[in-house]
Chain A
Amino acid sequence: EVQLVQSGAEVKKPGESLKISCKGSGYIFTSSWIGWVRQMPGKGLEWMGVIYPGDSDTRYSPSFQGQVTISADKSISTAYLQWSTLKASDTAMYYCVRLLPSGGILNAFDIWGQGTMVTVSS
């Protein structure tokens, strides 16, 4: 079964750092783009960025460029999303997604992780 399994919920204080993870299984991890999508409480979906684990080619949404860092460790089939300085406005559910394997970067998101809830509060 193809799946993405994300790390658990986090509660952090403003100014702290955080790295959440997304482990792929059931497919060739290095052959599909992985993306991250934010969903703020009660709101819609926002694309944050994508990475190709095969060569670590990474693209960011202009809205999130400089605010987060996306990385991947292909040896353990895991992608990461990290913040160096969290803000209260980073409180949201974060989903990792797999882009459909065929057709490159311009593709729909066929597999979604279960989500990681990040709460930033003093």
Chain B
Amino acid sequence: DIVMTQSPDSLAVSLGERATINCKSTQSVLYNSNNKNYLAWYQQKPGQPPKLLIYWASIRGSGVPDRFSGSGSGTDFTLTISSLQADDVAVYYCHQYYSSHWTFGQGTRLEIK
């Protein structure tokens, strides 16, 4: 199975500052035939189910604020929150769907400094 590793495990950022979360896969999740990266990001707030933030590595999900962006290709990906809001406190997960044995990163806990 493809192993997804996120860094850091936890992160504290001041309100209004940039937050960056990284995700690395043990093999490429880029399909050469369509040039798409099979990588998604989810946000899970306390007591809630996860919510799709980003898919195809860089496409924002429905209703997701534009302060959230995804980048990267192949094996290395980044989720960036351009200006942290109090509502962004959550655990963030990356997810590969390149293989039908879907796997997730271990999660990154984002807090306010």
Contact = CB atoms under 8 A, between A and B. Distances in A.
A1 to B, nearest CB: 11
B100 A46 contact: no
Given A106-B97, A109-B40, A45 B104 contact: yes
Interface size class of B (residues with CB under 8 A): 20 to 34
Given A44-B93, A112-B49, A112-B50, A106 B107 contact: no
B55 interface: yes
Chain B interface mostly: loop
A59 B100 contact: yes
Contacts of B61: 110
Contacts, number: 56
Given A44-B106, A47-B103, A112 B93 contact: no
Interface residues of A, number: 22
Contacts of A111: 52
A95 B50 CA distance: 9
B49 A47 contact: no
Q: Would you call the interface of chain A mostly helix, strand, loop, or mixed?
A: loop
Contacts of A50: 100
Contacts of B51: 112
Interface of B: 38, 40, 42, 49-52, 55-56, 61-62, 93, 95, 97-107
Interface of A: 35, 44-47, 50, 59, 61-62, 95, 100, 105-115
